[in-house]
Structures are given as structure tokens and as C-alpha cells.
Amino acid sequence: MTEQKRGTETAFGMVSLVMGMVSLLMFCSCINWVTGIIAIVFGSIQVVKNEEKGFAVAGMVMAVLSMLLSVILFTCILMGIEDTGRSYEEFYRDYLYDYDAYDSYDDYDDPDRYPDWYDDYGDDDYDDDYDDYYDDYYDEYDDDYDYGYYEPDENDPYYEEIVDCTRTDLDYSLQWAVESLDPDNADDECTYYTTYPVLEMEDAPWLTSVNETLRQAANTYQSTYKEYEGGVSTFGYVTLMDEDKISVVFKHNFYKKSVTEVRLEAHTFWIESGTEITPEEMTDIDLELAMRFKAQDKTQNGGADYVQDQTVEGILADLQDPARAVFFYTPVGLEAGINHETGWVTVTLKEQAL
């Protein structure tokens, strides 16, 4: 995996996204054409001016979809009115008449209005059949549909994305804590936000120490976040959680004027003793690892510029530097990484697992 600093000029894209959402929500009215055109115009500006295109593309897609739905809706309405041989005024008048006619719940007993199966509604057999049908339907839907979330597996060739892999079947559990700081001035966009796990376990004297280590790691940049125009955010991830150990990775984001810089920090603990596992306990940090790191980066990440431009000795120095190196466990294996000036890069060592 690798991540580089990225541009953050997304004002036009945000306008496009909001207008696109409004257009989609109001596709049944003519207003959606106005908001849709605005979304497309501002989205186009964002795409041309900045590399952050996600919001803009989403806004334009929703705007176009809104317009298509609007055309389909009004075409169906006009065709339906034309088929009845009535004018729009007659159609609307009859609709209001039918609506007002339902002024009593007694109408629901009228056999001419509802078919025989409606009489069974509310019976136990009917309810059971209804529940069974929809249980089967949604079970099949969940099995067939790919929601797009990455779920690491030990059979994966390498680790693809930093995600949470929490469990609820262990002797210990965790909760998530959130801390944030907002400026007094509403126009000030410099904010601080962090999330981190809090471990819970009975008869664990080490628990307070481990939780304090995680809290301090999550708040590493709390005292300096105002040095960045947009502040700092830190997101914690539990990348591995089993009976013996837990790995927690923090992704720090530094929001500068035109770019977001990122870096990783990781901590792994033995569950039995609460002691932190050092990188040297996870693997041998030597020239062989440095050579493998460079080769694996080319295969796994397509060759990050920082790594491929480095000598093997330079990579080894980074892996031995606590300020740059990062090691953590995942269901796929051991992840070894380096923080550098423009981001971070990691490679997967599949056979390295304690």
C-alpha cells in the first residue's frame, strides 16, 4: 500500500455535489433542471482546475440522473393521461375525489376495493409466510451483492487497505473514543479530531497503561495542530485482534493550504502481559529485509518513487529509524512500512506472523 499527499481545493466540487443531491431529490419538479445545470457547471470547473474530482463527478452524475428521471416521469404521466382520454384537469379532479372518499376505516372492509388475500393480513400463518419470503429474499441478496468493502483474508497475496478487523468473540473487547477541538471563530477551518480504541478486559492490571499509550498516540499532534491551516485529524484502526495480540494503526492527516500530508503510526501489544511488541521481535531488520522491501514494493505497489529511488542501505536505515518505520499485523501477515516526506508506503510479509 502507498499514499501520497493530495490536493484539497474542493470548493467547486462540494457545490456540484450539493446541487446534484438537491437535483436528484427534486427530480419530480422542474427545479431539478436549474440545480442540475448548476451542478454540472461547477463540477466541470472542479474537474478542470483540481485533481480532487470525486465530489464533482458525483454531483454531475446525480444531476444527469435527476434530469433523466424527470423526463421519464413526465413522459409516463403524459402517456397515462392521454390513454384515459381525459384532460389533466379531469385527471387531477378525480384523484382528489377518490382521496376524499376514504373518510372512514370502514372502507377497508369493502370486498370490491380489496382482494380476498387482504382478509388474511395479520393472521399468524400469513405473517410467517411473509417473514419467510423476505428473509430468503434478503439472505440471497446479501450473498450475491458485493458491497465493495475490503475484508482482509490470510489467502490474500498482500494487504490492500488499512481497515478495522475487530472481533467480539474474545476475552477482551473494545470501545471507540473521540476527541475534538473546534475554533471559537466560525470562519476558522483549523480543527482537531481523533478516534482511538479503548480496550476492556477483566483482571488485566496492564489495561490502564495500554489504553494510555493508545490515547497518547492518537493525540500526538494535539498540541501542534494549529500549525496547519486546516488542522489535523487522526483515525485509529484495529488491523488485527486475536487471543494473543492486538495491532492498532493510527493514520495522521495534516491539512495544509493546498495538500494533505499523511503518515502512519502503529502499536502492537501482547494481550497476556500488555507489553508492546517491538519491530525487532516481529522480524529481522537487516539488508535482506531491505532488499525484499524494495522488490515487494515493485510487485505490490507498482514501485513507489521514494522506495525505488533509494539504495538498499537507505531503505534499511529507514526501517531501523523509529521515527520513520512502521510495523503492524493484519490477517494477511506482517506489514512493514516507511513514512517519508510525501506520504507512506508498506509491503506485506505474508509468512511473518507470530
Predicted pLDDT at 158: 93
Residues 73 and 185 in one domain: no
Q: Read off the pLDDT of each residue in 265-279 and give the average, rounded to a whole number.
A: 97
Q: Read off the pLDDT of each residue in 85-102 and give the average, rounded to a whole number.
A: 52
In which band, very low, low, confident or very high, does the pLDDT at 108 lie, cut at 50, 70 and 90? Answer: very low
CB contact at 8 A, 346 and 159:
yes
Q: What is the 3-state composition of the chain as percent helix, strand, coil, each rounded to the nearest 5?
A: 45, 20, 35
What digits encode the pLDDT tens for the residues 31-86? 888 888 998 998 888 888 766 778 888 889 998 998 898 888 888 877 765 555 55
Q: Read off the pLDDT of each residue in 14-27 and give the average, rounded to a whole number.
A: 86
Considering the domain boundaries, does residue 126 fall inside one? yes
Residues 131 and 275 in one domain: no
Residues 253 and 325 in one domain: yes
**Which residue range forms the structural domain that includes residue 50?**
2-89
What digits encode the pLDDT tens for the residues 288-314? 999 999 999 999 999 999 999 999 999
d(CA 267, CA 345): 17
Predicted pLDDT at 104: 44
Sheet holding 6-7, edge to edge: 6-7, 259-270, 245-255, 231-241, 191-200, 173-181
Number of domains in the chain: 3
Please state which of the ranges 8-17, 191-200, 279-288, 313-322 shows the lowest mean pLDDT. 8-17
CB contact at 8 A, 62 and 21:
yes
Residues 328 and 193 in one domain: yes
Q: Residue 192 contacts by C-beta under 8 Å, 6 or more apart in sequence?
A: 179, 180, 181, 221, 222, 225, 231, 232, 233
Residues 193 and 307 in one domain: yes
Predicted pLDDT at 306: 95
Residue 312 CB neighbour total at 10 angstroms: 15
Please report, in angstroms and rounded to a whole number, the separation of the first and last CA atoms in the chain. Answer: 22
Please state which of the ranges 98-107, 263-272, 281-290 shows the lowest mean pLDDT. 98-107
Cell 484502526 belongs to residue: 237
Please state which of the ranges 111-120, 173-182, 186-195 shows the lowest mean pLDDT. 111-120
Sheet holding 325-329, edge to edge: 2-4, 343-349, 334-340, 325-329
Q: Read off the pLDDT of each residue in 2-18 and give the average, rounded to a whole number.
A: 74
Tell me: pLDDT of 319 over 70.
yes
d(CA 73, CA 213): 58
Residues 202 and 233 in one domain: yes
Predicted pLDDT at 312: 96
Considering the domain boundaries, does residue 323 fall inside one? yes
CB contact at 8 A, 176 and 197:
yes
Considering the domain boundaries, does residue 156 fall inside one? no
Q: Give the side-chain half-sphere CA count within 13 A for 291.
A: 3
Note the residue count of the chain. 354
What digits encode the pLDDT tens for the residues 221-258? 999 999 999 999 999 999 999 999 999 999 999 999 88
In which band, very low, low, confident or very high, does the pLDDT at 260 lie, cut at 50, 70 and 90? Answer: very high
Q: Read off the pLDDT of each residue in 166-175 and give the average, rounded to a whole number.
A: 96
The CATH number linked to 229 is 3.30.565.40
DSSP state of 227: G
Residues 106 and 83 in one domain: no
Residues 214 and 129 in one domain: no
Nearest to 39 by CA among 63, 71, 58: 63
Residues 122 and 79 in one domain: no
Provide DSSP, 92-151: HHHHHHHHHH--SGGGGG-TTTS-GGGGGTTSHHHHHHHHHHHHHHHHHHHHH-------
The residue among 89, 119, 136 that closes a domain is 89
Name the packing angle between helices 312-319 and 287-301 (round to 10°). Answer: 100
CA of residue 267 relative to chain centroid, distance: 22
Please state which of the ranges 9-13, 14-18, 59-63 shows the lowest mean pLDDT. 9-13
Nearest to 197 by CA among 172, 223, 225: 172
Query: Alpha carbon of 244 to those of 23, 203, 348: distances in Å?
Result: 52, 16, 20
SS3 of residue 237 by DSSP: strand
Percent of the chain having pLDDT more than 90? Answer: 54
